[in-house]
Amino acid sequence: MFFSKSIPLCFLLFCLLHHAALGASLFHFCFSKENYTAHSPYDANLIQLFNLLYTKVPPTGFGLGSTGKGQNQANGLALCRGDVSSQDCKTCVVEASKEIGERCPSGKGAIIWHDNCLFKYSNVKFAGKVDYKNKFSLWNGYKVDDPTPFNAKVKELLSGLSTKASSNPKFYATGELVLSSSETLYGLTQCTRDLYNSDCKKCLDDAISELPNCCDGQRGGRVVGGSCNFRYELHPIVDP
């Protein structure tokens, strides 16, 4: 897959090396300009927050938490993909939290995405607010033969799934669209469950509006943010 934050052209070799450097993660941002020191009150609250989310998230696939007070308060969120089992969800949350600690040591705010989950923490309260800043896109680098009708079908499928996800209690939807006797388009949309239904819909629609920039004619792609994401492929993308 190709990677982009601002969606410029990205060369295959660079992207493959970048992906390897990130290890198991898809992408991450160390977004806070503030740092904390080891054994400080914020550090202790962050450790407590991580332990809280390890327990809180897997049963339902989503969780929010806050530990501490005032300037030392640590706020966190974790979300697992809607089809992921509780055990795989827990594994992903634990691995993501450990990895982001290595990627962003001493940073008071960071976010990381794995294929099965996202994990975010900050000293600033963010629950209920759409995260438009932390976002990236991926595409697979292979184009379809006839982009114009294909692009229209991708938008049709994802727009329908945006409506479906925003009205689903789990803020998650998958679907497919038959393109021909030998080809089916698969899609997925998801939001973090701290949002209002209307904010989930707007977040997804805004992400889908980026299709012409990130994924024009691409056989597969996704836009992934701190509050919502979509993905489409010409092969199944979730567990049955």
What does the pLDDT read at residue 239?
A: 74
* Domain range summary for the chain, segments of one domain joined by +: 2-122, 135-233
Domain 2-122 sits in which CATH superfamily? Gnk2 domain, C-X8-C-X2-C motif (3.30.430.20)
pTM of the predicted structure, to 2 decimals: 0.90
Q: What is the pLDDT of residue 218?
A: 97
Contact criterion met (CB below 8 Å) for 110 and 50: no
Amino acid sitting at position 140: N
The reported pLDDT for the residue numbered 8 is 32
- 3-state class of 204 per DSSP? helix
Mean pLDDT by 10 residues, the chain (240 residues): 42 34 76 96 98 96 97 97 96 96 96 97 97 95 96 98 98 97 97 98 98 96 98 91
User: Amino acid identity of 89?
Assistant: C
Tokens of 210: 């980026």
2-122 matches 135-233 in fold: yes
| pLDDT value at residue 11 | 30
CATH code 3.40.50.2300 for 135-233:
no
